[in-house]
Amino acid sequence: MSSTPMVQIQDVHKRFGRNEVLRGVSFDVQKGEVVVILGPSGSGKSTLLRLISHLDALDSGRIYVDGRLVGYEERGGKLHALSDRAASIARADVGMVFQRFNLFPHLDALGNVNAAPVHVRRMPKSAAIARGTELLTQVGLADKLHAYPAQLSGGQQQRVAIARALAMNPKVMLFDEATSALDPELVGEVLEVMKQLAHDGMTMIVVTHEMGFAREVADRVMLVDGGVVVESNTPDAFFDHPQHERTRSFLSKIL
């Protein structure tokens, strides 16, 4: 791992109306590190990922990916939002995989993977097709290049979504409950792809309830609750010797 963080989250606050969802969250993620975030519903986990990918706007604080301020430029100590075009280009450094697959129903698997590289990265179509074919093969879908989402299982659709995110050559991958909408027998095939990405050195921030994945793959496990980081530690220490009563209470209900 590099000494320079790939992701830096500094005193991030976010509220929706009167509900303060994040209340001063700060942590770093090193290059090649896998951080798993746990927490109850409504704790701010998904909001945090949406801020890192600049799908939502910060209220205050700063988020950097590979040393670059996400979604903003700083002038005179104040943040100024990037143009939509500039923000889209910057957002390409962050791959995001959602609970729902969000595939384009009118495009086949290869078309879904190719769309962003062609339209955002301005990649030549022939190069995008070659890269998309490579990525779909990587996630075990070489025989489904021209299948449409309605013809794919949930696990296959989620693997297409992972390939689509990877097609932008992101510096960090975010997974927001990527397996929670799947039938139990399909969860494993998606987790295997995620494990391989971690093995290959991808920087990953994963919101999940898959405790086995957290224990096996994470470098660090974090509990977020009430909009703050309650505890952060190695998987063994987090699960076997939690330091905070809130962590012990949370684990007692899910394990």
Note the pLDDT of residue 101: 84
Percent of the chain topping pLDDT 90? 80
Tell me: the pLDDT tens digits for 160-192? 999 999 999 999 999 999 998 898 888 999 999
Note the pLDDT of residue 100: 86
**What distance in Å separates the CA atoms of residue 121 and residue 116, rounded to the nearest whole number?**
7
Note the pLDDT of residue 85: 80
Note the pLDDT of residue 219: 97
128 to 119, 140, 160, 166, 193: CA distances (angstroms): 10, 18, 15, 12, 21
CA 93, 96, 102: angle at the middle one, nearest 5? 130
Non-local CB neighbours of 174 within 8 Å, separated by 6+ positions? 49, 52, 53, 94, 95, 96, 97, 204, 205, 206
Note the pLDDT of residue 104: 95
Tell me: the pLDDT tens digits for 215-239? 999 999 999 999 999 999 999 999 9
Note the pLDDT of residue 217: 96
Note the pLDDT of residue 203: 98
Residue numbers of the chain with a pLDDT score lower than 50 = 1
Note the pLDDT of residue 88: 79
Burial class (CB in 10 A: 0-12, 13-18, 19+), 89: middle
CB atoms within 10 A of CB 127: 13
Report yes or no on whether pTM surpasses 0.75.
yes
Non-local CB neighbours of 69 within 8 Å, separated by 6+ positions? 62, 63, 79
Contact 32, 242 (CB under 8 A): no
In DSSP terms, 78 is beta-bridged to 75
